[in-house]
Amino acid sequence: MILILLGAPGVGKGTQGELIAKEYGIPQISTGDILRKEVKEGSALGKEAKKYMDSGALVPDDVIVGMMENRIKEDDCKNGFILDGFPRTVAQAEALDVMLEKNGLKLDKVLLIDVPKDEIIDRLTGRRVCSKCGAVYHIKNNPPKRDGVCDKCGGELIQRSDDTKEVVENRLNVYEKSTMPLIEYYEKTKKLVKIDGLGDINEIFSKVKAVLG
């Protein structure tokens, strides 16, 4: 199964992607996670990407497309994969079409998760992530057992630098301008399914499973 998770920042793409990956045994490929790892390691790609990520702007298409071309050829993608945060522009979607065709692959579904703006701001400003393993929490909706400590690995929980109110507003503007045109792009393929992302995490996951079968 090849799946795209589409939706504004903070709608729960990462959260649902992780659950889908476990249930269906296919990897979740998050461009945001890959870029953050590069930033942490201080690689050339990471240094370049950080300039854009800190303000909530998009990393240039050619950088992202090159990165994804290599990733989907890896062994763990043989039985399919979940794209979380890619594509994010029409140019990236067109590049993905070419990539899939070149590799004899076919896109199955695009899940568009929809959440109102006020809730998005609350979710993102309340999000905490593990500095060691990357696990995602929310101070109210999905809190860790011990304040500031990751349940999974004991690592310290931190706030992402792009989860401040100011940067979140910019990320939402960028989403509207650059990524929303993808809704029409994928509606034309008849592969787009809209999911109401309001409700608790397991409730949303039940809706996702009903769509994926």
The catalytic residue positions are 13, 88, 127, 160, 171
Does position 109 interact with ligand AP5 (CB under 6 A)? The reply is: no
List residues bridging with 157 in a β-sheet: 130
Segments of the chain assigned E as strands: 2-6, 28-30, 81-84, 109-114, 127-130, 136-138, 157-158, 192-196
Segment interacting with ligand AP5, rule: CB under 6 A, options 82-90, 98-106, 146-154, 181-189: 82-90
What is the nearest approach in angstroms of ligand AP5 to the Cβ of residue 119? 8
Nearer to ligand AP5, 26 or 163 (CB): 163
Whichever of 24 and 52 has its CB closer to ligand AP5, that residue is: 52
* Residue nearest to ligand AP5 as judged by C-beta position: 32
Q: How far apart are CA 213 and CA 202, in angstroms?
A: 16
**Does the footprint of ligand AP5 cover residue 134 (CB under 6 A)?**
no
Cα–Cα distances (Å) from 91 to 14, 94, 137, in that order, read 22, 5, 32
Q: Quote the CA–CA distance of 157 and 148 in Å, as a whole number.
A: 5
By the rule CB under 6 A, 125 interacts with ligand AP5: no
Cα–Cα distance, 88 to 68 (Å, whole number): 12
Cis peptide, bond prior to residue 60, ω within 30 of zero:
no
Two tokens at 74? 């890896």
Type and span of the H or E element at 154? none
Nearer to ligand AP5, 121 or 212 (CB): 121
Residue window 8-47: x/- pattern of binding to ligand AP5, with contact defined by CB under 6 A: -xxxxxxx---------------xx--x------------
Residues in contact with ligand AP5 by the rule CB under 6 A? 7, 9-15, 31-32, 35, 52-53, 56-59, 64, 85-86, 88, 92, 123-124, 127, 136-138, 141-142, 162, 171, 199-201, 204
